[in-house]
Structure 1
Amino acid sequence: MSTVQGRRLVQHQREGRRWYAVLACGDVPAEPLTATSSAVGIDMGVASFLTTSDGVQIDNPRYLAASADRLAALARRKRGSNRRCKAREQVAALHAKVRRQRRDHAHKTALWLVRQHDLIAHEDLRIANMIRSARGTNDAPGVNVAAKAGLNRSILDAGWGMFLAILSAKAESAGRTIIAVDPRNTSRTCPRCGHCAKENRITQADFRCVRCGYAAHADLVGASNVLRAGLARQAATAV
């Protein structure tokens, strides 16, 4: 149900037993923030929610994983029982709480970024492709299905897509620049000498260039290369 009040569209939504009023305002003027002369690249991850090119890591709160035990307990209720029906409502309410927590975290992190930096470069992630099933087909079965399914859950729990959409909206309102860059090889390329090799990644977290010996956390390397690519795109656009 929705009503129009002046320039505001008021929508009433029901989620479980709760009702929410959602306000959408038109012709809202942008409020550019004061320039900071700062640019940053961000690397999205699972172990850490994101890492910036200046070395800041934001923890991944893993809201869904934190609720996994309770969700599993509710799922064990006997089918057809009154307790099962009640448990279904509790599961829906718990998932709604996780969505609110994830959205709140995304808003706070995005606001922090746009307040600190004039330009924010991020990976142009194709999240739908990343979480596609690993099972494959009868002719071409998938490999490491269980591991891939676990990674998919972690990606969805992190809420990358929601965060990037919120970041883009806040940046536009604040007069900041957002640049999405090709994520390929960003964590395999040495930010010091430019050498790109699979062997540069010692482990998931560790990077050491086999040519020049530069060593750092792989997420920091990725964020640094994302920033460099973003600045290059901005310079090319300005020409």
Structure 2
Amino acid sequence: MESVKQTRAHVARLDLSTAQIAVLDGQAHTARALWNLLHEYFTFRQGRFATVKECDTAIRVARREIDWMGQLPAQAAQAVLKTYRQAWANFFNPDHPAKRPTFKARFGSRLAVDVPQARDLQIKRINRRWGAVNLPKVGRVRFRWTKDLPGVTKGGPAGRITGARLVKDAFGWQIVFRTERQVPAPVSHPGPQVGIDRGINVALALSDGTMREHGDWLAAGEREHLRRLEKKSARQHRTRTRTPGQPPSKRLSRTYDQIARLRATAKRRAVNWQHQTTTELANAFSVVVVEDLKITNMVRSAKGTTEQPGRNVTQKAGLNRAITGEAWGRTVTLLQYKTRDRGGLVVKVPAPGTSQTCHQCGHRDAACRDGTRFSCANPVCGWTGHADTNAAINIRNAAGTAVSGRGDLGAARSVKRQPPRAA
């Protein structure tokens, strides 16, 4: 049977001592400083970019002449160069949304250290709950064991670990294992086709009339706690004058950390819901049709300029926060690789008109939609129903006008424009 290579990432929580946390923090700040030095060396030259060889030579010289550069392992320093070059490649790729690489600020940048050599990790399972891993210049560290890693445990999945990345978030340091496996090539998915409308009042509305919804990511008490902390941070920031670039006070930093943990909790719950929902959809449907939304343009501020100030700025800001909180782009990203693994396909179709057009007769009128209710103004038709369901059916029927598609090629060839039909 034909097989394909499957690469995945597995995140686990590290159990570190205070001294080990200090070492990793120092490595991460050194990696950030190395990025900034590379960016200055790479861009501020006489009319040309530096080559990879020149950058590599500059890193070796810096590690010999600057003492604190030695905090970062040599392989991790090379990984910073590789990541930096890839950032420029993404920027020059017209199909990639990446922006131009720039300097990384000390406050606000995500701390991360790469461990590109898998042989240095020496992963071993200790017991049912914990495993152990070697980290360069840190030593032996325990990590939370929640899933068998390929090629590590006896009787576990076949494959291998190709490297890891250490990332710090609001809850502490995590290790992200890069895994590689050979799995059977997916066969064409036998399931039906579905259109999905992403929204705010209804998270996901399907063309079959069903919906996928969720509650608030934070409980009422947690939301009130977050509101009080945000007011507290604003008061602390206002009462302490400081020059730009100066670190905040310890009290303000502690408040910021509490806010970050609550927001990280909300994000974890959102990602967990998205994973469960997208797995269910990928198992059930062979072709998933979604709108090709330009989310970055949708969440732009309405402030305008001094000469031409915007209108309804506060309302637009609230809408932008709601759209950002739903993370529509992440939902599609999860759907793409999950449907591909199951022999399915994700198709993106043009977005204009899907929420204003009646799927039954094709009549288009913006006045037909009133909130979550759609009433066709065509007297011959007169269809009435949920507006998001109507939009999802239009999205499904527009599969023949796709602007892009990712997944199984056999499924891609079978997608044809569907005639208008009732839900």
Could you tell me the TM-score, scaled by structure 2's length?
Answer: 0.52
Alignment partner, residue 143 of structure 1:
311
Structure 2 residue 413 is the aligned partner of structure 1 residue 220: no
| CA shift in 2, pair 1:172/1:34, >3 Å | closer
Alignment partner, residue 372 of structure 2:
205
1:44·1:51 contact (CA, 8 Å) conserved in 2?
Answer: yes
How far residue 167 of structure 1 moved from its aligned partner, in angstroms, is 1.2
Select between 12-21 and 106-115 the one with higher mean Cα deviation. Answer: 12-21
How far residue 161 of structure 1 moved from its aligned partner, in angstroms, is 1.4
Please give the alpha-carbon distance, in whole angstroms, between the structure 2 residues aligned to 1:184 and 1:190. Answer: 13
Q: Which one of the candidate residues 14, 18, 21 is aligned to 2:168?
A: 14
2:303·2:309 contact (CA, 8 Å) conserved in 1?
Answer: yes
Select between 27-36 and 91-100 the one with higher mean Cα deviation. Answer: 27-36
How far residue 232 of structure 1 moved from its aligned partner, in angstroms, is 5.3
How far residue 141 of structure 1 moved from its aligned partner, in angstroms, is 2.0
In structure 2, give the amino acid aligned to 1:112: E
Alignment partner, residue 56 of structure 1:
210
How far residue 97 of structure 1 moved from its aligned partner, in angstroms, is 1.5
Secondary structure of the 2:416 match is helix
Please give the alpha-carbon distance, in whole angstroms, between the structure 2 residues aligned to 1:65 and 1:195. Answer: 42
Q: List aligned pairs for 1:185-196, cutoff 5 A.
A: 185-196=353-364
Q: Which one of the candidate residues 273, 276, 279 is aligned to 1:105?
A: 273
In structure 1, give the amino acid aligned to 2:227: A
Q: CA deviation digits over 1:89-126, x for unaligned, max 9?
A: 11111122122112111111111111000000001111
Q: CA deviation digits over 1:41-60, x for unaligned, max 9?
A: 00001011110000111114
Q: How many residues align?
A: 235
Secondary structure of the 2:117 match is strand
In structure 2, give the amino acid aligned to 1:76: K
RMSD: 2.3
Could you tell me the TM-score, scaled by structure 1's length?
Answer: 0.89
Alignment partner, residue 117 of structure 2:
4
Please give the alpha-carbon distance, in whole angstroms, between the structure 2 residues aligned to 1:117 and 1:57. Answer: 14
Select between 114-123 and 85-94 the one with higher mean Cα deviation. Answer: 85-94
Structure 2 residue 186 is the aligned partner of structure 1 residue 32: yes
Alignment partner, residue 256 of structure 2:
88
Alignment partner, residue 129 of structure 1:
297
In structure 2, give the amino acid aligned to 1:101: R
Q: Which one of the candidate residues 176, 181, 202 is aligned to 2:349?
A: 181
Report the identity percentage.
Answer: 31
Please give the alpha-carbon distance, in whole angstroms, between the structure 1 residues aligned to 2:339 and 2:200. Answer: 23
| CA shift in 2, pair 1:113/1:231, >3 Å | farther
1:209·1:215 contact (CA, 8 Å) conserved in 2?
Answer: yes
